[in-house]
């Protein structure tokens, strides 16, 4: 069994944004040499997500609006977590909705994707260096 590990680093200049990381994950897969197996991609921070969906600008703006409806950033005082001096409780909830990780099948050395599947890193508390983990196992 082969295994391969790679960190992807980000420094998103705004509080929230979506980054298409499909090319970086494909590069990690090529580096791994794995032909058949599983590829895990997860946020290593608890105020960020990794998820799979469509790379369409309108849809990304729909998520931004929708997440603000379901888990609004302000008023900060609505969240007990923010009493600790943080202001990012909403980021923990938004990450809950979008998920921590994806597991993707690896087949014939490729990410085994449907036609529109793309991998995103979702930042909900940016303006600092953060990272995602790619771990690939197989043969």
User: Which residues are near its own copies by CB under 8 A?
Assistant: 1, 3, 5, 36-38, 40, 42-46, 51-54, 56-59, 61-63, 66, 70-71, 79-84, 89, 92-93, 95-105, 107, 112-117, 131, 133, 135, 137-139
In whole angstroms, the minimum distance from the beta carbon of 32 to its own copies comes to 12
Q: How far is the CB of 30 from its own copies (least distance, A)?
A: 18
Output 30 or 66, the one with its CB closest to its own copies.
Answer: 66
- For 36, residues 6+ apart whose C-beta sits below 8 A from its C-beta are 106, 107, 108, 138, 139
Query: Cβ closer to its own copies: 15 or 82?
Result: 82
Q: What is the DSSP letter of 36?
A: S
Q: How far is the CB of 14 from its own copies (least distance, A)?
A: 18
75, 100, 115, 123 from 16: Cα distances, Å? 17, 16, 27, 5
In angstroms, the Cα distances linking 52 to 19, 79, 103 are 11, 28, 10
């Amino acid at each position: 069994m082969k295994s391969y590990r790679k960190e992807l680093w980000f420094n998103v200049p705004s509080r929230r944004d979506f980054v298409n990381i499909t090319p970086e994950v494909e590069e990690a897969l090529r580096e791994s040499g794995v032909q058949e197996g599983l590829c895990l991609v997860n946020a290593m921070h608890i105020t960020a997500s990794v998820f799979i969906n469509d790379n369409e600008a309108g849809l990304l703006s729909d998520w931004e609006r929708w997440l603000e409806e379901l888990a609004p950033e302000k008023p900060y005082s609505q969240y007990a977590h923010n009493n600790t001096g943080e202001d990012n409780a909403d980021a923990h909830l938004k990450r809950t909705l979008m998920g921590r990780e994806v597991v993707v099948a690896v087949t014939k050395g490729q990410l085994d994707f449907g036609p529109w599947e793309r991998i995103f890193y979702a930042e909900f508390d940016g303006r600092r260096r953060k990272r995602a983990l790619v771990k690939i196992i197989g043969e």
